[in-house]
């Protein structure tokens, strides 16, 4: 589906300093970009930014980066997430997940969020497009580096969730905090996304997991 360009699109893209035009130029220098040595967490498919904006407010000692493929979607995130409102620990850029190795040096990212990603469940051959497919897990391992990293995932799709559990386990990652009904669990500190609010209001269960590469859960 083609997304209609908002009338304020060009102005927002050119004036909001949260947008990074050439993210690859910061490879190996992301801590310099943020001006501190705080951990960097990224969200792949950040949508309109509700989750990441709230996370940046709750955790000022963490740097957050939202990544989207669709400019019209990310510009809505930018309009919602004014730096003056949420602080200097959040930024966004437009890129495809397959290019993350060109944007981040090994060890620069310590946590990745994938929230309500496209499940690609209608055709079996589409499984390789899922963000938890092993080819993407290989990319994540590359940017985590030797120190390891964490992948936190939420979805409403049973097929995607079960697939993700198997892929992550087959890669030898540790699984932790697995929930088949997050909102009726004892998990604390959950921050909801736009889709999560919609699906939970419909009574749908929310699935969540944490995958740890080369490290143990805290």
DSSP assignment of 89-154: SEEEEE--GGGHHHHS-TTS--EEEEES-----SSGGGGGGSTTSHHHHHHHHHHH-TT-EEEEEE
Judge contact between 27 and 102, C-beta under 8 A.
yes
Q: Which residues pair with 116 in a beta bridge?
A: none
Q: Is residue 13 over pLDDT 70? A: no
Establish whether 21 is a catalytic residue: no
Tokens standing for 196? 């999560």
More confident residue, 23 or 125: 23
pLDDT digits (tens, 9 = 90+) for 88-146: 899 988 899 999 999 999 999 999 999 999 998 777 788 999 999 999 999 999 999 99
Identify the active-site residue in 88, 96, 118, 170: 118
Domains and CATH numbers, the chain: 9-213 (3.40.50.150)
pLDDT value at residue 3 = 44
Distances (CA, A) of 196 to 4, 9, 131, 186, 190: 23, 26, 18, 17, 11
Q: Each residue of 47-82: pLDDT tens digit? A: 878 899 899 999 999 999 999 887 777 776 666 554
Query: How confident is the model at residue 50, as a pLDDT?
Result: 85
54, two tokens: 């709230």
Span 136-172, pLDDT tens digits: 999 999 999 999 999 999 999 999 999 999 999 999 9
pTM score, whole prediction: 0.89
């Amino acid at each position: 589906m083609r997304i209609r360009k908002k009338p304020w699109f060009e102005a927002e893209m050119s004036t909001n300093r949260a947008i990074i035009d050439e993210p690859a130029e910061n490879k190996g220098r992301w801590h310099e970009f943020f001006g501190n040595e705080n951990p960097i967490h990224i969200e792949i498919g950040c949508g309109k930014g509700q989750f990441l904006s709230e996370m940046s407010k709750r955790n000022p000692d963490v740097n957050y980066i939202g990544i989207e493929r669709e400019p019209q979607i990310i510009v809505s995130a930018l309009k919602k997430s004014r730096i003056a409102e949420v602080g200097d620990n959040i930024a966004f850029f437009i890129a495809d997940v397959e290019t993350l190795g060109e944007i981040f040096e090994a060890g620069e990212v310590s946590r990745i969020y994938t929230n309500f990603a496209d499940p690609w469940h209608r055709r079996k051959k589409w499984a390789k497009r899922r963000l938890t497919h092993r080819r993407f897990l290989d990319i994540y391992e590359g940017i985590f580096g030797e120190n390891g990293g964490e992948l936190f995932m939420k979805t409403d799709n049973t097929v995607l969730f079960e697939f993700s559990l198997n892929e992550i386990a087959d890669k030898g990652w540790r699984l932790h905090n697995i929930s088949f009904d997050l909102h009726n669990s004892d998990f604390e500190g959950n921050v909801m996304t736009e889709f999560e609010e919609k699906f939970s209001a419909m009574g749908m269960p929310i699935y969540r997991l944490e995958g740890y590469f080369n490290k143990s859960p805290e």
